[in-house]
Amino acid sequence: MFEVRVPMTSANVGCGFDTLGMAFQIYSVFTFEKNEKLEFYGFDKQFCNENNLVYIAFKKALEYLNKPIIGVKISVKEQAPIARGLGSSATCVVAGIYGAYLLTNTEINKNEILKIATEIEGHPDNVAPAIFGNLCASCSVDGNPYNVQYDVDERFNFIALIPNFETKTEEARKALPKELNFKDAIYSLSRLGIVLKSFENYDTEILKNILDDKIHEPYRKLLIHEYDEVRNICESIDSCGFFISGSGSTLINIIKDEKNLNEITEKLKSLKYEWKAIITKVDKKGTIFTL
């Protein structure tokens, strides 16, 4: 039996729309064991069939490896919150591919896994940090993923503010304009390189001033109830960067002093929706497995 642990991710990070992705120390954990038939354990009933995304990825990877489809028992031990912009589907896809590699004794090749995962997901921005960890900048050219990693300074504390409502990526994409204003594109693009260095150098003052985005956040924040209220609470206490995790509904606030978590949590209680605040650091390992 193999256990596979995959970090949750935010893909996008501020002005890095559809390219920057960050892995956090919040995980989905799955186990895989050879079995006579296909079996699931721990998933909601609706996912206990061949349409389970972990299994779809498992089968796809076996095809890619030219291996026969084998019976498997897939269990979920911990699962990322779904439809909250924390890359839950990426964790399923990456875990399924790892399952196929491990159960067929195939040597793990992260670049190859990125290629298969990108084919399944359609884009590499979540799966790249889920596989490699840290802060990734990725793109796909003619279906081939390209990915580079940036090392985020350990001192950064991220608060994932997870509400009790969902946003669907499909709807969040529909909320985007069909055409992009030239000035807005430059607004975001010109900040990107500096954002990367600020994460590496722990440049909290610069980060606070330049993480902002005009490509997707102005449109998507309208879909997230109490976005302004949550942001105002964070900024009145401790915030050196605030962004929508993926396509929402989770928001990420970067704080300097982890002791400020309690005050933020207290203030969030005054809001109408329920906001769960989880403090975390960047994950540096990406996907790992144990026997």
Question: What are 202's two structure tokens?
Answer: 């722990």
Indicate the residue among 14 and 133 with the shorter CB distance to ligand HSE.
Answer: 14
Q: Per-residue contact track with ligand HSE, 194 to 233, x per CB under 6 A? A: ----------------------------------------
Of 169, 209, 265, 280, the one binding ligand HSE (CB under 6 A) is: 169
Instruction: Work out whether 249 is an interface residue with ligand HSE (CB under 6 A).
Output: no
**Shortest Cβ distance from residue 97 to ligand HSE (Å)?**
17
Instruction: Work out whether 173 is an interface residue with ligand HSE (CB under 6 A).
Output: yes
Indicate the residue among 3 and 217 with the shorter CB distance to ligand HSE.
Answer: 217
Of 29, 47, 125, 147, the one binding ligand HSE (CB under 6 A) is: 125
Cα separation of 47 and 70, whole Å? Answer: 19
Tokens 């990070």 map to which residue? Answer: 13
Residue 178 has a CB neighbour count (10 Å cut-off) of 4
**Shortest Cβ distance from residue 12 to ligand HSE (Å)?**
5
Stretch that binds ligand HSE, among 10-18, 41-49, 104-112, 221-229 (CB under 6 A): 10-18
Indicate the residue among 54 and 244 with the shorter CB distance to ligand HSE.
Answer: 244
Enumerate long-range contacts of 47-52, CB under 8 Å, 24 or more apart.
52/92
- In the chain, the amino acid numbered 66 is N
On the question of a cis peptide bond just before residue 270, with omega within 30 degrees of 0, the verdict is: no
Stretch that binds ligand HSE, among 34-42, 67-75, 165-173, 182-190 (CB under 6 A): 165-173
Indicate the residue among 10 and 31 with the shorter CB distance to ligand HSE.
Answer: 10
Residue 124 has a CB neighbour count (10 Å cut-off) of 29
Angstrom CA distances, 40 to 8, 20, 75, 152, 261, stand at 21, 33, 6, 36, 37
Angstrom CA distances, 59 to 44, 72, 190, stand at 20, 10, 41
Residues that bind ligand HSE (CB under 6 A): 11-12, 18, 125-126, 169, 172-173, 246-247
